[in-house]
Amino acid sequence: MATFKLKQKFLSLTEKFEIKNEQDDIVYVVDGKFFSIGKRFTLFDNKENSLAEIKQKLFSFRPQFHVLLNDGSHAQIIKTFLPLFSSRFLVTFTQPGAGVRELEVTGNFLSHEYNFSENGQVIAQVSKQLFSFTDTYGLEVHDESLNELLVSLLVVIDAIHHGNDKN
């Protein structure tokens, strides 16, 4: 099991933040594009190698993003509007040679706690730290083969719920 901490910088023109492990070592860096139509992010490892591209789909009835991982895997995440007093996302994840997987992300009304599940089995959990100047999340991953995907999905959820409205 892997545990990560995502903390955004307080005053930044771009949406750039670091993701650290339990030992407080930087594992990933997320860099948001300042001048783009729609939200765009790139996930890097700690050696500045690009791992994933995250792009918002424009002109969509529901908030929707696409994630393209460097191994050729890709995912589509769509926010649903039902049930009304919770937060729910549907994820279609395609891996080369492995087929399509369906994930579901559910959270509470205030968008502070999430469970990532596949076929009813929890594969990751997210908890947002309260009373912080910046958004700070803890991510506990049970299926470590999905680390980059789940970190990318957390970035999307944060962008949908707490991102600024410049785009």
Is residue 148, in this structure, part of any structural domain at all?
Answer: yes
pLDDT value of position 134: 62
Residue 34, domain CATH: 3.20.90.10
Cα–Cα distance for residue pair 31/33, rounded to 1 Å: 7
- For the residues 69-88, what does the mean pLDDT come to? 88
Is residue 76, in this structure, part of any structural domain at all?
Answer: yes
Q: How many CB atoms lie within 10 A of CB 96?
A: 9
Indicate the number of domains in the chain: 1
**37-63: pLDDT as tens digits:** 788 999 999 999 999 999 998 877 778
Angle among Cα 142, 16, 106 to the nearest 5 degrees reads: 35
Is residue 167, in this structure, part of any structural domain at all?
Answer: no
Name the residue range of residue 105's domain.
2-162
**83-137: pLDDT as tens digits:** 677 789 999 999 998 889 999 999 875 657 899 999 999 999 998 765 455 667 8
Mean pLDDT over all residues of the chain?
A: 84
pTM for the model: 0.86
Q: Is 160 helix (H, G, I), strand (E, B) or coil?
A: helix
